[in-house]
Structure 1
Amino acid sequence: KLGFKDTDTVSGFIIRHITMFCNNELDVGSQRVAIKNLLNVCITHPRYFMSERILGVMDSVFETNDLDLQDIVINTLSTFLELQDREALLKNGLDFKDSKTTKLNVKVFHGESAEYVNDGICSSLVQRYLHH
């Protein structure tokens, strides 16, 4: 029995089990693989980047002196930010937008839409880890 609960999502279940291998007490090789895979799951499900579990793993990596582990986190965050940037360019384009012809999405304006959630995640991650 794997311990899959009725309320679990597959991604949440995977994250819960991978984080067990991110422990500082395990060998560094196992940690590297676990952290890389953990953050790759977060790339496809960005809201996990804001969970205490994931932030705790990334914070603990930057508290160590292991440059390889830090490099994994930085490169994975960089990949995520590049993908989000590319997605934003595809969605919004670089064209000039005239405010007279563009309709205002009132739900987004009032923060009631999840349309730009990933933008907030990106800015939070950059603010938190920019100095690394």
Structure 2
Amino acid sequence: LAAILKLGDRFVFGLTLLLIATLLLVIGNTIRLHIENRRTEIEVVKLVGGTDGYVRRPFLYMGALYGLGAGLIAWLLLAYGLGWLNEAVIDLAGLYGSDFGLAGVPTEDGFSLVLGSLLLGYIGAWLAVARHLSELAPR
């Protein structure tokens, strides 16, 4: 049983790393598309003296909002999925004379999920903007 639990822990850790990388890539690509759509606007802002921080800020806010939205959706899906699965678990446990049931998502864990996804959105946006901002030097 300990070996199976250890295998499960490693599987979940690997899946977590994969999902974090996916979130960073998706948000980074979305921010890159927004940068490309506003290329001329960014060049004009830089021509009139706008700093890199001034250009970067709206994209960082957008990445954080994307991360916040993703975290809220993940929290809602997790809460709904556990509630839906709990019905079958209670039925199965009742067959064995047990009162076992799944607990919902604790509020602290939900807030941690949302905060973590917000930070990942911010980091993904920062990486995308840092990479593409140097390419947008005015001509």
**TM-score scaled to structure 2, two decimals?**
0.32
Structure showing greater radius of gyration is 2
Structure having the larger proportion of residues in helix: 2
**TM-score scaled to structure 1, two decimals?**
0.33
